[in-house]
């Protein structure tokens, strides 16, 4: 049962649904999940069934509507919890308990139930009642501090990485808790904090700091910089402008540096003491090195640079926009994107699982319309009479 909204919780249940779980998404009557009101919308026409975030995050799920603030709605939710292995929720800490739907209540009739809470700051601590956002999570977790260039302001990460990371974390721990519950008959409450998840992913910077390596600061496209150092630790690891876009290059060994110099036909790079000695030397003179090599890139196309770098065994990658990601031959060969038909938006491409292996199957169905499965769930799974469902609808409960 999916009692989540936004991104972290829905991404958790998307992963569970994709690998075979039957996920019942519970939404408020009339309005639905908050992402149904978030754009972009197909053809710029706002509609609760055409929201890109909702369509992406809620594939493979059943949708029922339920007013959990009403007594009848709370009773139905308890009945759904009795037949569920897992409940995933993203309410504010304590909100479910205030509705008499806390874990102690839900587990009373279903001891093996796993309850996973996905929130910005977790169930405890001085921040637990605060509302967060991707900007706030990136700032507090340290992601913003290490993102960007040292002579510019910190930057937040692209898209909603902290929240998606929390969803992935929640899915992993939910499956682990479910395995224990199936073996022992005893469920548990899994508390997932998006802030702690994000801070965990910045943990390498903390480890370096506590081991006396200095305070990690922003290094832009470079591989690393410590406060007080004259420059990044290695170079070139940079995105260079070319004739028709950008190319990323990452020279990571002495052999690659040698081949990079040969590729650019700039033997002076190997003779110049600023660049020839080691990673640290090139890092300290990163800007000067960029000025020397930039003209070579600007005189060529991405495809040409990508091909030449491959021939010389220099790691490189073209910087794609989204349309190019969809057309990449690697994804095409792997069948990574598939087209899914939805009654309100037509057929659109969505990513499949990045996991390969025998027996691994990624189920893929379109996101549901609001309340699409009310009859299937309430009458089919819970055994409600159709007249009862009609009455609940009239009362605004579903």
CA distance 42 to 50: 6
Which DSSP symbol is given to 377? Answer: I
- Residue 359, both tokens: 């027996």
Show the domain range for 353. 2-201+333-394
Q: What is the DSSP string of 248-288?
A: EEE--SHHHHHHHHHHTT-THHHH-HHHHS-HHHHHHTHHH
Do 81 and 185 lie in one domain? The reply is yes
N- to C-terminal Cα separation, the chain: 16
Is 325 within the bounds of a domain?
A: no
Instruction: Specify whether the CB–CB gap between 49 and 344 falls below 8 A.
Output: yes
CA distance 42 to 163: 24
| Residue that finishes a domain, picked among 296, 319, 342 | 319
Is 227 within the bounds of a domain?
A: no
Residue 180, Cβ density class (10 Å: 0-12 exposed, 13-18 middle, ≥19 buried): middle
* CATH code for position 46: 3.40.50.10540
| Residue that finishes a domain, picked among 272, 290, 319 | 319
Is 277 within the bounds of a domain?
A: yes
CA 45 centroid distance within chain: 26
Reported as a pLDDT band with limits 50, 70 and 90, residue 273 is confident
* Lookup result for tokens 């205030």: 98
**What mean pLDDT value characterizes the chain?**
90
Do 371 and 279 lie in one domain? The reply is no
Is 274 within the bounds of a domain?
A: yes
Do 161 and 256 lie in one domain? The reply is no
With pLDDT > 90 as the criterion, what percentage of the chain qualifies? Answer: 72
The pLDDT of residue 217 is above 90: no
Confidence at residue 146, expressed as pLDDT on a 0 to 100 scale: 85
Do 337 and 308 lie in one domain? The reply is no
- Residue 171, both tokens: 């899915």
Is 218 within the bounds of a domain?
A: no
Do 45 and 191 lie in one domain? The reply is yes
> Among 64, 80, 81, 61, which Cα is nearest to 12's?
61
* CATH code for position 263: 3.30.1540.10
The pLDDT of residue 231 is above 60: no
pLDDT digit string, tens, across residues 116-131: 999 999 999 999 999 9
Please give the angle made by the CA atoms of 277, 282 and 285, to the nearest 5 degrees: 130
Do 168 and 126 lie in one domain? The reply is yes
- Which value, to the nearest 10 degrees, does the dihedral of the CA atoms of residues 220, 225, 226, 228 take? -90
Is 172 within the bounds of a domain?
A: yes
Q: How many domains does the chain fold into?
A: 2
- Assign residue 346 a region (left: φ > 0; alpha: ψ between -120 and 50; beta: otherwise): left
Do 308 and 349 lie in one domain? The reply is no
Pure H helices in the chain: 8-18, 52-57, 71-82, 95-98, 103-106, 134-141, 161-184, 194-201, 203-210, 254-263, 268-271, 273-276, 279-284, 286-298, 302-311, 322-327, 329-334, 374, 386-394
Reported as a pLDDT band with limits 50, 70 and 90, residue 234 is low
pLDDT digit string, tens, across residues 168-214: 999 999 999 999 999 999 999 999 999 999 999 887 777 777 776 66
Is 222 within the bounds of a domain?
A: no
pLDDT digit string, tens, across residues 23-63: 999 999 999 999 999 999 988 999 999 999 999 999 999 99
Confidence at residue 69, expressed as pLDDT on a 0 to 100 scale: 95
Cβ neighbours of residue 53 closer than 8 Å, sequence gap 6 or more: 7, 35, 38
Instruction: Specify whether the CB–CB gap between 81 and 87 falls below 8 A.
Output: yes
Q: What is the DSSP string of 28-95?
A: -TTT-SGGGG-S-BGGG---TT-BHHHHHHTTTEEEEE--TTSHHHHHHHHHHHHT-SEEEE-PPTTH
Do 340 and 313 lie in one domain? The reply is no
Do 109 and 138 lie in one domain? The reply is yes
CA distance 314 to 263: 9
The pLDDT of residue 218 is above 60: yes
Reported as a pLDDT band with limits 50, 70 and 90, residue 252 is confident
Do 117 and 143 lie in one domain? The reply is yes
- Residue 324, both tokens: 């190019």
Do 171 and 276 lie in one domain? The reply is no
Is 215 within the bounds of a domain?
A: no
Do 338 and 315 lie in one domain? The reply is no
CA distance 249 to 237: 6
pLDDT digit string, tens, across residues 328-379: 999 999 889 999 999 999 999 999 887 777 777 777 899 999 999 999 999 9
| Residue that finishes a domain, picked among 254, 288, 319 | 319
Ramachandran angles phi, psi of 100, nearest 5°: 60, 35
């Amino acid at each position: 049962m999916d009692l989540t909204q936004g991104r972290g919780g829905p991404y958790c249940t998307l992963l569970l649904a994709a690998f075979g779980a039957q996920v019942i998404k519970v939404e408020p009557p009339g309005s639905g999940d908050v992402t149904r009101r978030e754009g972009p919308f197909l053809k710029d026409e706002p509609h609760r069934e055409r929201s890109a975030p909702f369509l992406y995050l809620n594939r493979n799920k059943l949708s029922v509507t339920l007013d959990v603030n009403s007594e009848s709605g709370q009773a139905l939710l308890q009945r759904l919890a009795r037949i569920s292995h897992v409940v995933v929720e993203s309410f504010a800490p304590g909100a479910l308990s205030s509705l008499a739907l806390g874990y102690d209540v839900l587990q009373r009739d279903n001891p093996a139930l796993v309850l996973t809470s996905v929130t910005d700051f977790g169930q405890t601590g001085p921040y637990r009642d605060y509302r967060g956002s991707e900007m706030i999570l990136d700032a507090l977790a340290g992601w913003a501090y290490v993102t960007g260039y040292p002579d510019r302001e910190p930057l937040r990460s692209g898209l909603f990485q902290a929240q998606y990371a929390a969803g992935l974390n929640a899915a992993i721990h939910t499956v682990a808790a479910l395995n224990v519950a199936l073996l022992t008959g005893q469920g548990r409450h899994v508390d997932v904090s998006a802030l702690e998840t994000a801070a965990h992913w910045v943990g390498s910077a903390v480890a370096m700091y506590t081991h006396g390596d200095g305070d990690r600061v922003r290094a832009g496209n470079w591989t690393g910089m410590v406060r007080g150092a004259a420059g990044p630790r290695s170079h070139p690891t940079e995105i260079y402008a070319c004739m028709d876009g950008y190319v990323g290059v990452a020279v990571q060994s002495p052999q690659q540096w040698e081949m990079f110099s040969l590729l650019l036909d700039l033997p002076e790079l190997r003779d110049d003491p600023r660049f020839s000695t080691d990673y640290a030397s090139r890092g300290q003179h990163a800007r000067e090195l960029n000025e020397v090599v930039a003209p070579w890139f600007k005189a060529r196309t991405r495809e040409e640079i990508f091909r030449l770098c491959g021939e010389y065994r220099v790691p490189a990658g073209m910087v794609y926009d989204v349309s190019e990601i969809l057309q990449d031959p690697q994804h095409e060969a792997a069948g990574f994107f598939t087209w899914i038909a939805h009654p309100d938006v037509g057929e659109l491409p969505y990513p499949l699982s990045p996991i390969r292996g025998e027996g691994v199957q990624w189920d893929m169905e379109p996101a549901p319309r609001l309340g699409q499965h009310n009859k299937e769930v309430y009458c089919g799974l819970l055994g409600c009479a159709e007249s009862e469902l009609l009455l609940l609808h009239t009362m605004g409960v579903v």
